[in-house]
Amino acid sequence: MTQKIKGLLLSGGYGSRLRPLTEKVPKCLVHVGGQPVLERWLTALENIDCMQAIVNTHYLAEQVNDYLKLRGNSIFPISQEYERHLLGTAGTLRKHLVSLRGYTVVMAHTDNATDLNLQELIQAHNNRPVGCLMTMLTFTTDKPQHCGIIEKDEKGVIQAFHEKIANPPGNEANGAVYVFGNDFLDEFSKLSSDMGDFSTDILPTMVGRAYAWHTSMPFIDIGTPESLARAREIWPEPRRCNS
């Protein structure tokens, strides 16, 4: 039976570290490789026959809405979900809990640039160790103090999370891309609704119950001018042919 997949793309952030660029453009529409980073994730979901994408918005939401309306090559429904007040990453998931049940969910922050093949991540989730409720994409970072760093055992089961601490024990970082299904959603629904942040509130409850799948592909958080410049070196603007 074909695996039913839904995407939840977190796209409501202010992008304050990228100002003045993000004073007029939301971070998810900043271009890398000639296209908005949001488009990279929509295309990646299309490539795995995703059935629907939910895009949460807040800051400069009308621009995101206009982009999605004008996008002419959508092969699945895209639902733009405006948050008048940002709910937090866990709050956004909680808002869509009912509609996500029965699906394999890919939840991703759209301020990351990558050429990742999501099918490989989903396959890793399907083959995750017994007892793991979710799968997290991880990557190697050269600035571990600025990332969420994980520790894992020989099977890849996460044993500890360290969220942006001064001297983290390693450089394997949380890529903020997650795959999960009903077993995780059942546990998530039992947690307090006061838990608003997925990284700091929810992930600690998943110690021993989350699987880390490591990618060697380039994976860049474009949240600062320096990292955006690095991403644009890896994925430069396409050359335009003179007519």
Distance, in Å, from the CA atom of 81 to the CA atom of 21, rounded to the nearest integer, reads: 24
Distance, in Å, from the CA atom of 18 to the CA atom of 226, rounded to the nearest integer, reads: 9
pLDDT of residue 6: 97
Does this model's pTM top 0.85? My answer is yes
pLDDT of residue 73: 67
Q: Could you give the 3-state DSSP secondary structure of residue 191? A: coil
pLDDT of residue 242: 59
pLDDT of residue 241: 59
pLDDT of residue 232: 95
pLDDT of residue 165: 85
Distance, in Å, from the CA atom of 9 to the CA atom of 42, rounded to the nearest integer, reads: 9
Neighbours of 214 (CB within 10 A): 16
Neighbours of 63 (CB within 10 A): 16
pLDDT of residue 5: 96
Distance, in Å, from the CA atom of 198 to the CA atom of 69, rounded to the nearest integer, reads: 29
Among left, alpha and beta (phi > 0; psi -120 to 50; other), residue 216 is alpha
Which residue positions in the chain have pLDDT lower than 50?
none
Distance, in Å, from the CA atom of 8 to the CA atom of 10, rounded to the nearest integer, reads: 6
73 touches 60 (CB < 8 A)? no
